[in-house]
Amino acid sequence: MKPLSFKSLKQMLDTLRTEEECRVYLETLRWNGKPVCPHCGSISEHHYKLTQNGEFKGLYKCRDCKKRFTIRQGIMFEDSNLPLRTWFHAIYLVFISKKGISSCQLARELGVTQKTAWFMLQRIRHNMKDDDIDFDDTTQVDETYIGGKTKRNKGGQGRSTKQKIPVMGLLSKGKVHTRVIPNAGKDTLQGVIYNLIKEGVTVVTDGWKGYRGLGKKYKHKVVNHSKSLFKFYLITS
Interface residue with Zn ion among 62, 124, 197, 214 (CB under 5 A) is 62
Nearest alpha carbon to residue 132 among 168, 99, 77, 177: 177
Q: Which is nearer to Zn ion, 64 or 78 (CB)?
A: 64
205 to 2, 138, 168, 228: CA distances (angstroms): 23, 11, 11, 13
Q: How far is the CB of 65 from Zn ion (least distance, A)?
A: 3
The alpha carbon dihedral of 193, 197, 200, 204 has a sign of negative
Q: Is residue 24 helix, strand or coil?
A: helix
61 binds Zn ion (CB under 5 A): no
123 to 30, 118, 204: CA distances (angstroms): 19, 9, 27
- Note the maximum CA span of the chain: 60
199 to 28, 134, 136, 195: CA distances (angstroms): 35, 12, 8, 10
39 binds Zn ion (CB under 5 A): yes
Question: Applying CB under 5 A, which part among 57-65, 108-116, 192-200, 217-225 lies near Zn ion?
Answer: 57-65
Q: Which is nearer to Zn ion, 68 or 220 (CB)?
A: 68
Question: Applying CB under 5 A, which part among 20-28, 60-68, 180-188, 218-226 lies near Zn ion?
Answer: 60-68
43 binds Zn ion (CB under 5 A): no
50 binds Zn ion (CB under 5 A): no
Q: Which is nearer to Zn ion, 60 or 87 (CB)?
A: 60
40 binds Zn ion (CB under 5 A): yes
Q: How far is the CB of 44 from Zn ion (least distance, A)?
A: 9
Q: Which is nearer to Zn ion, 63 or 159 (CB)?
A: 63
Output DSSP code: residue 198: P
Q: How far is the CB of 173 from Zn ion (least distance, A)?
A: 24
CB 208 within 8 A of CB 190: no
42 binds Zn ion (CB under 5 A): yes
Nearest alpha carbon to residue 143 among 163, 171, 123: 171
DSSP assignments along 37-53, one per residue:
-TTT--B-TTSEEEEET
Interface residue with Zn ion among 22, 37, 128, 189 (CB under 5 A) is 37
Q: Which is nearer to Zn ion, 67 or 173 (CB)?
A: 67
Which positions lie near Zn ion, rule CB under 5 A? 37, 39-40, 42, 62, 64-65
